[in-house]
Structure 1
């Protein structure tokens, strides 16, 4: 389960109304991510591009390890 602070949770309406500001905060690393809630459900996460690339590289590495282990 992901841990987050209340400052990282936004309703879809808040994101629509304040997109530029929220995006700026993420881009400048004032916040790490923005969890987007719609109809009381977590629907999406907005990440800084550097964090996204880091996570993407981690997934690629884990897939390679898994595939190598599966072949053994």
Structure 2
């Protein structure tokens, strides 16, 4: 399970109101990730495009290795 700092947990209503601010924080790498919380549950994680592509590429490589075996 991924751990989140308190400042990485953002209520969905606040995220919607301050989307530009949070986007700037992600793009500048001020924060690595933000967990969007609704009804006291993490519903989504906001990450940069670069981070998503890194994770997706690693996943694809792993899937290809599994298929080879």
Q: CA deviation at 1:41?
A: 1.0
Structure 2, unaligned runs of 5 or more = none
Structural RMSD (CA): 0.7
CA distance in 1, matches of 2:56, 2:11: 26
Matched with 2:51 is 51
TM-score (ref. length: structure 1): 0.91
Do structure 1's residue 4 and structure 2's residue 10 form an aligned pair? no
Number of residues of Structure 1 aligned to a counterpart in Structure 2: 69
Structure 1 outlier segments of 4+, above 4 Å:
none
Matched with 1:19 is 19
TM-score (ref. length: structure 2): 0.95
Matched with 2:31 is 31
CA distance in 2, matches of 1:9, 1:42: 8
Structure whose alpha-carbon radius of gyration is higher? 1
